[in-house]
Structure formats: structure tokens, C-alpha cells
Amino acid sequence: MSVATEHRLAAKPGSEARVILGPSGNRIRVSEEAKRKKESLKKNQKPSRLVSATPCLVARNNLSVDSTCSSDSSSWGSSVTMVSSKRRVKPNGLRSVKIVPDGVESVVAGPVKRCDWITANSDPLYTAFHDEEWGVPVRDDRKLFELLVLSQALAEFTWPAILSKRDVFRTLFDDFDPSSVATFTEKKLLSLRLNGNTLLSEPKLRAVVENANQTLKIQQEFGSFSNYCWSFVNHKPIRNGFRYARQVPVKTPKAETISKDLMHRGFRCVGPSVVYSFMQVAGLANDHLVTCFRYHECNNIVENDQKPKNEDRE
């Protein structure tokens, strides 16, 4: 018996058919029945959650967010989980947004802009003087007399130097009370000079005493030194609105007018430059640069007490 005959005899009718190789190589053909079983399993499998194909429309036409959907916090256009309307959505993971009403400008914190002559290296006293006093309207007689004396001292000192010795000036001139300074005698002046307490030269010191006497006369004539000073500007501060420091003048025609009247009344050391410095520091003129934060603040200051204190004492 040949070998082929032996193989045919060995094959039994009920045996399994051999695996047939497909045309593309050793890829096993899967029966149609197995395919149908797989497809039926896929169809019967339920997803763990229902995902919408498109994201929800949020705040469309100024409407609030619908309670039936919540957006993913990581990306606006990502898939959205559908939530039952009875279930309350917690805003976990959502960024809080500050709503600014219409017409209200948002304030962005930044460095304070001052006048150009105030720099980062300026004396703290000088900076505080600029931020709190310079350009603020003053209507108190004693304070006006003080500022006039300090403006006279600018001929020999700078503002930072004057401010550093301000307490000494106040002690020297009895807290700038004109009625007290007017009583200074030659002996008093000499004692101040010998003790080395005075910061001004002898002519300036004598001018302060004489100006105190003339201030008392103005108070009798005009009711107060404040009424006299503010009458030159119609009782309203002059708002110059300079943009650059080079535009701020050393003197003005108005200062020259006041200077002439003061000298005519017997005041000494009150030239136009001294008078204009006095007008600036006493607020008769607002010479803060328009870019400085104090320009608008000085313009908007509301004075509760319009009457000078000297009149209240009478």
C-alpha cells in the first residue's frame, strides 16, 4: 500500500476539518457565527455615562447657565456631562469671575505718579509734604503766617532742609503766633542770636518780626489775614494745569501784584518769588502737574469750615 493510500485510510468521516489558510498568508478565517456573537455583545453593552455630541450653550443671549448641563473647567469646547434637572450642579473646579457693572472702570494697582521734582530718592519728609500739604488751600491765619515765613526761608534753604528743622522754627517763633512774634524785642532777638538757636540771618529774622506786626494790622482791617490773601484770587485757588515741571513759573503777574501791596503795607523780604512760593504752598495756586495724583485731589478738596478760625475766637 502506498503512502497516499495510508493517509486517506487514516482520515475518518467525523473528524474536524483542517484550518484553511487565507489568501493573505497565515490569517485564520473567522466563522460568520463568531462574528455575529461579537457584534451582538457590542450592541448590548451600555455606556457608563451619556455624553452629548456638542457642548452646551452658556449665557447665550444674556441667559443664565441651564441647570441641566455643566461645562468642563479645563476647556470650553470639551464634552459635557448631561445632568438631571433635579440634581444640583456644584461649581467645583470653576474659576470665579468678578463682574464689573457697566460704567464702572476697573482699577489697576500701579505706582503713584507725583510731580517730577519728587523722585524715588527724595527725602521722605519732602514727599509727605508734597502729598499732604503742598497745594492744599489754607485759610487759618497762623498757618498762613507760618507758610509765609518758611517761604521767606527758601532764599537761604531748600524745602527738604526747612522741613527737617520745622520743629526748631516753630519753637523759635512761638508756634508762629503773629501776636507773640510781634512782641519780640531787641533783647529777645539778641539772645536768640547769641544762643545760636536762630536758623535765619539777622535781616530775615527782623523781617519776620516786622511782618508779624503788619499781619496784626491786616487782621484788624480785613477781619483776618486769610481774607486779605484770598481776596487777590477771588477766594478760589488758581488752577494752572501744567504738564511739565519746566512750565511752572518762579513768579507770576498775580504774585507781583500781591508783593507790591505787601511791601506798600510795610512787609519786608516779600519779593514776587517769595510770594509765589507762598501761593503754591498755601493752595492759592494749584501748581501740581496734571499728571500728579494730587492735582485732582487738591481741586476736589471740600472745606467744611469756610470761616477763618480767628473770626470764631472773637
Residue numbers in the known binding site for Zn(2+) are: 115, 130, 288, 292
The angle at the Cα of 294, spanning 290 to 299, to the nearest 5 degrees, equals 80
Binding residues: 115, 130, 288, 292
C-beta separation of 133 from 281 below 8 A:
yes
The angle at the Cα of 45, spanning 44 to 51, to the nearest 5 degrees, equals 120
Residues pairing with 82 in the sheet: 69
Inter-axis angle of helices 141-153 and 272-281, nearest 10: 130
Q: Which residues contact 255 (CB under 8 A, 6 or more apart)?
A: 272, 273, 275, 276, 279
Q: Which residues contact 214 (CB under 8 A, 6 or more apart)?
A: 262, 265, 266, 267
Backbone angles phi, psi at 18, to 5 degrees: -70, 155
Q: What is the DSSP letter of 312?
A: H
Cell numbers placing 171: 519753637
